[in-house]
Amino acid sequence: TATKPRQPVLKTSLPGPKTAEIMARDKQHLSTSYMRPYPFVPDHGAGVWLTDVDGNTMLDFFAGIAVSTTGHAHPHVVQAVQKQIEKFTHVCLTDYPQEITTSLAERLVKHVERPGEKWRVFFSNSGAEAVEAAVKLARNHTGRQHIISTMGSFHGRTYGAITLTGSKTKYKRGFGPLLPAVSHVPYPNPFRPPLGSTSETCGQAVLEHIESLFVGILPADEVAAIIVEPMQGEGGYIVPPADFLPGLRALCDKHGIMLIFDEVQAGMGRTGKMFSFQHFGNNGENCQPDIITSAKGIASGMPLGALLAKESVMTWPVGSHGSTYGGNPVAAAAAHATLDLLEGQVKYDGCGESLMHNAAEVGEYIMAELKKMQQEFPFIGDVRGRGLFIGIEFVKPDGSPDGALRDRASMAMFEKGLLNLDCGEAVIRISPPLILTREEAATGLEIMREALRELK
Ligand code: PMP
């Protein structure tokens, strides 16, 4: 095997000449809605390393927004995709069963099914489509209309999904009217507890707030579902207190409301467990949702989304929902290969028993190192996360979020060869491929440290 890089290699100043030329063309022809914060145009990748069109090699700490689970061009994924594409690329799943998607569904539900409780899968192409499907299913199943979502959440850019999304007005401004019958409640963020609560009591405070809505404001028997990210992603990589999700499950049971967990960003092994809700309530036992949405890391970057639902809930009639490409067999092949590595059926060099296990171990190491960095840098207000789902929040001396400093830090890291991405108001997320080794993690942390020292 070719030797892996150990450090970023910066051959040109950024942007290099080819990058600048492509970026100029991009600016002419691509949608005005695209943002281009970093001058980097990828040419090829290997593992956690991405090389741009000018030959600069960067360490990837964001994985295409928590997508490239197995790193770039993983040979096991490449082979699986090649093998399937040579057989057939598309025969619509709405009308013909395909073994590759049948067996993928069988593998996925194994991670949530409990004795006496069967689950089923609907495949889409993206996270937003999985979320749309979840809303349709919950309404259809309950015969109710209202959906409760959380502030700071992100669920996608289609109409239903932006309505549920509770962050950044730019996602909504000028696009209305949105979906009717959607409300937002605070998310229990232990670092910035809402509703006058504390980090310990914020979960209960949000639950009490929801119950209070049911008295005179929003009849509980008109609420179809509560949708929540078990760990909030775009909102700032936030981990709720331990009692929140079990409490939410109990609240939903009490009122006959469907509980939807949006696992698009935190799911598929990223947090060290297959789904992030499994960190709570006795491995998820006491906070099992009715519906799960998944996408991103599920197929290592091939477009695939999935809606998982309890069999008792997936009652929509034949032909009522579908998608031409959803569950595409080439994407499904990539998902099988991704699961092989996540579950440890295929081993990856340097990653112990499985990628999921690796995510937990390397994530723990990164968290410990970041906690040390927090001592050195007073502007790091909070370090949080699980596995390779980690957020670093930048604060002003008065403790308020410092988005401007976060932006400077992010750019300084980029200029030293570390691809990273912001989220929330003042957070840098660490969401690398799950094949990241401890040595590669140490390289990334060293770049972060150097960049932050320059900010002091
Ligand atoms: N849900 C969550 C939690 C997400 O983080 C995202 C994407 N950032 C989405 C849904 C939407 O996914 P997609 O971009 O694939 O539509």
Q: Give the CATH number of the domain where residue 206 resides.
A: 3.40.640.10
How many whole angstroms from 127 Cα to the centroid of ligand 1?
5
How many whole angstroms from 126 Cα to the centroid of ligand 1?
7
* Pick from 353, 336, 335: nearest CA to 344: 353
Q: Which of 135, 149, 154 to mutate to test the pocket of ligand 1 (most atoms within 8 A of CB)?
A: 154
In a domain, 453, yes or no: no
In a domain, 415, yes or no: no
The answer to whether the bond into 15 is cis (omega within 30° of 0) is: yes
pLDDT digits (tens, 9 = 90+) for 109-163: 999 999 999 999 999 999 999 999 999 999 999 999 999 999 999 999 999 999 9
319 and 269 assigned to the same domain: yes
Q: Containing H/E element for 149?
A: strand 146-150
116 and 14 assigned to the same domain: no
Show the CA angle centred on residue 170, arms to residues 164 and 176, nearest 5°: 60
For 333, the 3-state DSSP assignment is: helix
In a domain, 131, yes or no: yes
Task: Name the stretches of the chain with pLDDT < 50.
Answer: 1
Domain tally, the chain: 2
pLDDT of residue 304: 98
323 and 175 assigned to the same domain: yes
Q: How many CB atoms lie within 10 A of CB 42?
A: 15
pLDDT of residue 353: 87
How many whole angstroms from 55 Cα to the centroid of ligand 1?
31
In a domain, 121, yes or no: yes
pLDDT of residue 2: 58
How many whole angstroms from 304 Cα to the centroid of ligand 1?
12
The sheet with strand 146-150 has its strands ordered as: 119-124, 305-310, 291-294, 258-262, 223-228, 146-150, 182-185
37 and 119 assigned to the same domain: no
pLDDT digits (tens, 9 = 90+) for 208-253: 999 999 999 999 999 999 999 999 999 999 999 999 999 999 999 9
Q: Give the residue, by CA position, lying nearest to ligand 1 atom 12.
A: 127
49 and 125 assigned to the same domain: no
51 and 90 assigned to the same domain: no
316 and 268 assigned to the same domain: yes
Domain of 5, in residue numbers: 1-60
Tokens representing 131?
A: 């979320």
244 and 115 assigned to the same domain: yes
* Pocket around ligand 1 at a 6 A CB cut-off: 65, 126-128, 131, 154-156, 229, 233-234, 262, 264-265, 295
d(CA 122, CA 266) in angstroms, rounded, equals 19
Tokens representing 235?
A: 């909102």
How many whole angstroms from 260 Cα to the centroid of ligand 1?
14
How many whole angstroms from 79 Cα to the centroid of ligand 1?
27
pLDDT of residue 112: 98
In a domain, 70, yes or no: no
Final residue in a domain of this structure, among 343, 374, 399: 343
Q: State which ligand 1 atom lies nearest to the alpha carbon of 265.
A: 5
pTM over 0.95? The answer is yes
In a domain, 285, yes or no: yes
How many whole angstroms from 21 Cα to the centroid of ligand 1?
30
Q: Which of 296, 307, 389 to mutate to test the pocket of ligand 1 (most atoms within 8 A of CB)?
A: 296
| Paired sense of beta strands 42-46 and 49-52, if any | antiparallel
86 and 163 assigned to the same domain: yes
Q: State which ligand 1 atom lies nearest to the alpha carbon of 131.
A: 10
Phi-psi region of 311 (alpha: psi -120 to 50; beta: other; left: phi over 0): alpha
For 43, the 3-state DSSP assignment is: strand
Could you tell me how many residues make up the chain?
456
Q: Give the residue, by CA position, lying nearest to ligand 1 atom 5.
A: 265
| ipTM summary value | 0.99
In a domain, 456, yes or no: no
Q: Which of 231, 264, 276 to mutate to test the pocket of ligand 1 (most atoms within 8 A of CB)?
A: 264
In a domain, 72, yes or no: no
How many whole angstroms from 350 Cα to the centroid of ligand 1?
30
36 and 83 assigned to the same domain: no
Final residue in a domain of this structure, among 343, 372, 387: 343
Q: Is the dihedral of CA 138, 144, 150, 155 positive or negative?
A: positive
85 and 41 assigned to the same domain: no
Final residue in a domain of this structure, among 319, 343, 367: 343
Instruction: Determine contact, residues 12/54, Cβ cutoff 8 Å.
Output: yes
105 and 11 assigned to the same domain: no
Q: State which ligand 1 atom lies nearest to the alpha carbon of 234.
A: 5
Instruction: Determine contact, residues 394/427, Cβ cutoff 8 Å.
Output: yes
